[in-house]
């Protein structure tokens, strides 16, 4: 089976959206599929380590030259890649085009080309547009939501398979658009290859861990309307408690915004801000931290990709958000006790947070319940569903 990935974001690009298609491409190749990729030239090489298993994959990269003040990668990728997509489909004759969304115009391109050439299409949702429960803030987001309500039903109906990372995400989409007959759920999961190969060497991470200090890694979404205030409150309570020698690690692109907010509230002195790092470095930081803080995941459909890796690396996790979310469910399934819903009295949550800070990580093995989220097994399920759908589609 031949699969053509058509993705704006792909390794070594540092954006989160590059990880899922790159990992699926790795295991599609490993399990015998013929894989090709169309993507844009990366803005950075943060995820260079994700490219190593893909040395035999034909990756065509389009160079983007912006000549209008439109700051949207999806628009420019659509503009520069459409002709290449048509040519690749003509020459490669793929069984599937695999498009990772949300990227609006490239999705439409993939649907049109799949219809013209009679190629199967996988629309893989890692997030939603119109069915996202949060109010759009910018004019661009409002326009996308409006267009999504018109275009998405047609795109989903045109696809051979519509895949979602969680059941809750699928249900949110169906609440907006009605029953999706070609929907499947393939979780993000974690890559056991990554976890098994982790060996700590001080030179492998961008900070020096001081002896006697407990470091706690933060993962999650720090949107202003979600949990920045709660996080500041938690750190303030730590600073006024008898718990000592704790530092909080923040890795990622919102560091400047977080730093400014933390400085205003006088909590930045116990925080360490690290620019975007490679996936391997991020996993190492999680593994050698005393614990992991997961905030956000307020939406009932969002599933934080990093939760699987964190649970596989570290058995001391504090979660505060929507207890019904897919992320919280994973933690509850693996018997984690520090899972707090926003409906719980804040004094109880803070007490739980301080107790969490006093514990040290003693990771011994990956929890049994987590094994079903191993990336190779998830990819095998994906391939089986694609093979079955391809066989059915070819008879229609």
Under CATH, domain 193-370 is a member of which superfamily? Glycogen Phosphorylase B; (3.40.50.2000)
| pLDDT cut 90: percent of the chain above it | 47
**Residue 82 binned pLDDT confidence (cut-offs 50, 70, 90):** very high
The size of the chain, in residues, is 396
> What is the average pLDDT across 312-329?
85
The fold for domain 2-189+374-394 equals Rossmann fold (3.40.50)
- The helix, strand and coil proportions of the chain, stated in percent and rounded to the nearest 5, come to 45, 15, 35
Q: What is the predicted pLDDT for the residue at 250?
A: 85
* Residue 184 clears pLDDT 80, i.e. is over it: yes
| pLDDT cut 70: percent of the chain above it | 90
**Same fold for the domain at 2-189+374-394 and the one at 193-370?**
yes
Domains of the chain, residue spans: 2-189+374-394, 193-370
Report pLDDT digits (tens) over 250-300.
877 666 777 888 899 999 999 998 877 788 888 888 888 899 888 765 554
Tell me the pTM: 0.86
HEC string of 267-303?
CHHHEEEECCCCHHHHHHHHHHCCEEEEEECCCCCCC
**Residue 362 binned pLDDT confidence (cut-offs 50, 70, 90):** low
Q: What is the predicted pLDDT for the residue at 185?
A: 92
Report pLDDT digits (tens) over 133-178.
667 777 877 887 788 788 889 999 999 999 998 888 898 889 888 9
Residue ranges in the chain assigned as alpha helix (H): 19-30, 73-92, 104-117, 139-158, 167-177, 192-196, 228-239, 255-264, 279-288, 305-313, 326-333, 346-358, 375-394
Alpha-carbon distance 251 to 259, whole Å?
12
Q: Nearest CA to 322 among 133, 61, 113, 106?
A: 133
Q: What is the predicted pLDDT for the residue at 118?
A: 96
> What is the average pLDDT across 300-318?
77
The rounded mean pLDDT for the chain is: 86
Report pLDDT digits (tens) over 221-256.
554 445 678 889 999 999 999 898 999 998 776 667
């Amino acid at each position: 089976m031949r699969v053509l990935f058509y993705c704006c974001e792909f390794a070594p690009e540092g954006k989160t959206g590059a990880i899922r298609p790159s990992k699926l491409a790795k295991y599609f190749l490993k399990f015998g599929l013929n894989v090709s990729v169309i993507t844009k030239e990366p803005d950075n090489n943060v995820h260079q380590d994700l490219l190593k298993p893909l040395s035999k994959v034909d990756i065509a990269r389009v160079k983007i030259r912006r000549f209008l003040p439109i700051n949207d990668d999806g628009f420019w990728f659509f503009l520069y890649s459409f002709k290449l997509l048509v040519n690749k489909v003509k020459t490669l004759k793929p069984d599937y085009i695999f498009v990772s969304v949300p990227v609006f115009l490239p999705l439409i391109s993939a649907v049109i080309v799949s219809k013209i050439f009679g190629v199967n299409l996988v629309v893989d949702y890692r997030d939603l547009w119109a069915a996202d429960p949060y109010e759009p803030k910018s004019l661009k987001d409002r326009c996308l939501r409006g267009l999504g309500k018109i275009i998405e039903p047609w795109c989903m109906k045109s696809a051979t398979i519509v895949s979602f990372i969680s059941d809750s995400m699928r249900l949110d989409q169906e609440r907006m658009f009605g029953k999706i007959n070609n929907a499947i759920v393939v979780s993000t999961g974690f890559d056991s290859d990554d976890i098994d190969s982790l060996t700590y060497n001080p030179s492998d991470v961008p900070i020096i861990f001081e002896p006697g200090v407990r470091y706690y890694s933060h993962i999650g979404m720090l949107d202003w309307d979600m949990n920045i205030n709660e996080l500041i409150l938690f750190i303030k309570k730590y600073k006024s408690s008898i718990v000592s020698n704790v530092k909080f690690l923040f890795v990622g692109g919102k560091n400047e915004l977080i730093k400014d907010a933390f400085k205003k509230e006088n909590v930045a002195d116990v925080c360490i801000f690290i620019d975007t790092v490679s996936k391997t470095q991020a996993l190492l930081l999680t593994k050698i931290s005393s614990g992991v803080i997961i905030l956000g995941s307020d939406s009932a459909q969002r599933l934080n990709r990093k939760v699987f890796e964190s649970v596989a690396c570290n058995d001391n996790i504090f979660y505060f958000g929507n207890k019904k979310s897919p992320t919280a469910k994973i933690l509850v399934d693996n018997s984690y006790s520090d899972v707090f819903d926003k409906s719980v009295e804040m004094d109880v949550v803070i007490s739980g947070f301080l107790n969490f800070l006093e514990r040290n990580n003693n990771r011994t093995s990956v929890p049994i319940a987590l094994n079903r989220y191993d990336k190779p097994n998830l990819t095998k399920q994906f391939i089986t569903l694609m093979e079955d759908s391809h066989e059915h589609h070819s008879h229609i």
